[in-house]
Amino acid sequence: MKLKFGNLEEEIITRKNFSLEKARKCLLNETICVLGYGVQGPGQALNLRDNGFNVIVGQRKNSKSWKKAIKDGWIENKTLFNLEEGVENGTIIMILLSDAGQIAVWPKIKKYFYAGKGLYFSHGFGLTFKKKTNISPPKEIDIFLVAPKGSGTSLRRLFKEGKGINSSYAIYQNYTGKAKERALSLGIGIGSAYLFETTFKKEVYSDLTGERGTLMGAIQGIFAAQYQVLRENGHSPSEAFNETVEELTQSLMPLIAEKGMDWMYENCSTTAQRGALDWWKKFRDINLPIFRNLYKEVSSGKEADKTIISNSKKNYRKNLKKELKEIKESELWQTGEIVRKLRP
């Protein structure tokens, strides 16, 4: 369907105009191999399996994720294979390894991509920055992307609730003439609420900006700054956390999700409304230069360089745990742990 967003018109694919039944029919003779069983892999693989598609999983044998796959009902040598066997057996390969994992495994699996196969990504990183990743698929295959706008955990949780996460899709290479059909079928199959079109480059630029910005990096920074100022001025940990995080996540964000920011404002006190209306543009103006710089760093490839170098180190997991531990053990999130236990 065509929808207007201001002066722009976009084609939106919903379950009504591309049904699950149609998706199953399109992929009836396909064997879908989900490569990787870490962040996105479980959600997408299980949703596809529950929706009646022919799915197998490729994963490094005897790893933590391999054991998780077995626990989730995948059967060794039947629906669960090592990475190379999975790629060899699949007709559509959903490469859902981390970006660093894709770089490491590509030399081992590229020989299995014969003419007509489909190569599916949920992130445009590998091909947008192919000069850095050295991921260069053959020209005789379909290459496409479906990127859920949320974590694999959320994708699975909402699927089980009968809901879904919005996803973008993109076509990079259309060898068979059926790349779009394959992409949309998988998008519906994994449980997308609706799909909107993008490109590999735009997907990765927006994704990296969002993750470093309002979705993760900026929001943690704002939380930490406000909490610190309240504590410096004598407010208790409980009061500072509730005014910084708890009220936002438990009370206000659901209102924004329901009907938008203006609806949330309408459902707050007149004092809160006045203050928010007076201050939001100040925050916008202060942050615009930061976001412009962030987007420049992303589009130039500098953020990709940092990611590849950092995530390819042997001690990456150890360093990650150390950095996450710093956040977890901060007074802000230690307070949060206590407050969450008090929820009814």
Give the pLDDT confidence score for residue 215 in this predicted structure.
94
Active site residues: 123
- Which residue has tokens 């870490």? 38
What's the pLDDT at 272? Answer: 95
Question: What are the φ/ψ torsions at residue 57 (nearest 5 degrees)?
Answer: -120, 135
Residues 6+ apart with CB under 8 A from 171: 143, 144, 145, 179, 180, 183
pLDDT score recorded for residue 5: 82
The reported pLDDT for the residue numbered 1 is: 82
The tens-digit pLDDT sequence of the chain (344 residues) is 888 788 888 899 999 999 999 999 999 999 999 999 998 999 999 999 999 999 999 999 989 999 999 999 999 999 999 999 999 999 999 999 999 899 999 999 999 999 999 999 999 999 999 999 999 999 999 999 999 999 999 999 999 999 999 999 999 999 999 999 999 999 999 999 999 999 999 999 999 999 999 999 999 999 999 999 999 999 999 999 999 999 999 999 999 999 999 999 999 999 999 999 999 999 999 999 999 999 999 999 999 999 999 988 889 889 999 999 999 999 999 999 999 999 98
pLDDT at 314: 84
DSSP per-residue codes, 69-132:
HHHTT--BTTTEE-HHHHHHH-SEEEE-S-HHHHHHHHHHHGGG--TT-EEEES-SHHHHTHHH
C-alpha distances in Å from residue 61, one per residue of 32, 42, 110: 19, 16, 19
261: amino acid identity, one letter? M
Q: Is 118 exposed, middle or buried (0-12, 13-18, 19+ CB in 10 A)?
A: buried
> Partners of 94 in the beta sheet?
34, 120
For 304, the token pair is: 């990709």
Please state the pTM of the whole predicted model.
0.91
The reported pLDDT for the residue numbered 173 is: 97
Task: Specify the CATH architecture of the domain 2-198.
Answer: 3-Layer(aba) Sandwich (3.40)
- Residue 80 identity: L
Contact 196, 10 (CB under 8 A): yes
Residue boundaries of the structural domains of the chain: 2-198, 213-341
